[in-house]
Amino acid sequence: MISEVKLRVPVTDADHAQGPKDAPLVLLEYGDYQCPYCGQAYYIVKQLQQALQDELRFVFRNFPLSQIHPDAVSAARAAEAAALQRKFWGMHDTLYENQDNLDLESLLEYAAELDLDVSKFITDMGSRQVEQRVANDFQGGVRSGVNGTPTFFVNGFRYDGDWSYPSLLNTLQAVLAHMSTR
């Protein structure tokens, strides 16, 4: 289920991550906020985090497919703009929980709900820095063999199995067991 396709852009401190830095398992997702499958995966990742607790570090990178999802790029920029006010995960969760409403007006509403400085948020969303961040995530993903959304990497290798909860959990637990026997 875990392929030999290797992540070419290693996880660093610049990434958005949840869970301990020294966690034995690193699950990385390349996702698109407007992609309905990513919307399903969002809840699955939450369950995995619940089940694996401190064994798991979860990392999210942007992979907006703008041609089929017209609001995906602005949603990705909204999350990155929120990150500049230390609210990446708040915005990330809000976007996935409100996938049907990702127009600009809604994004500003979410920013206000998260107590962001909305005028800074608007400036940041349109900034070169945020644009570049989203574009870099995307290009790095392409070079790492991201082939659609969501694409997951487990400890640096692309996961090609189905991403249902039981199958991801089994894979992650198997990797963990393998590591502890060594």
Partner 1 sequence: MSILKAGTKAPDFRLSCTPDQTLSLSEFRGRNVILAFYPADWSPVCGDQLALYNEILPMFKQHNAELLGLSVDGVWCHLAYRKDRKLAFPLLSDFEPKGEAARLYGAYRYKEGVTERALFVIDGEGTIRWSYVSPLGVNPGAEGILDALEKLAEKEVR
Q: Which residues bind partner 1 (CB under 8 A)?
A: 5, 8, 65-68, 138-139, 142-148, 160
Please, what is the minimum distance in Å from the beta carbon of residue 65 to partner 1?
Answer: 5
Number of neighbours of residue 12 by Cβ within 10 angstroms: 8
Tell me if 48 sits within 8 A of 172, measured CB to CB: yes
Nearer to partner 1, 139 or 164 (CB): 139
Whose Cβ is closer to partner 1: residue 8's or residue 120's? 8
H helix intervals, the chain: 36-52, 72-83, 88-97, 104-113, 118-125, 128-143, 165-181
**Minimum CB distance to partner 1, residue 160 (Å):** 7
Beta carbon of residue 90, minimum distance to partner 1 (angstroms, whole number): 27
Helix (H, G, I), strand (E, B), or coil: what is residue 155? coil
For the CA atoms of 25, 19, 93, 83, the dihedral, rounded to the nearest 10 degrees, stands at -120
Name the residue nearer to partner 1 (CB basis): 111 or 154: 154
Write down the least CB distance from residue 83 to partner 1, Å.
23
Q: Which of 112, 142 has the CB closer to partner 1?
A: 142
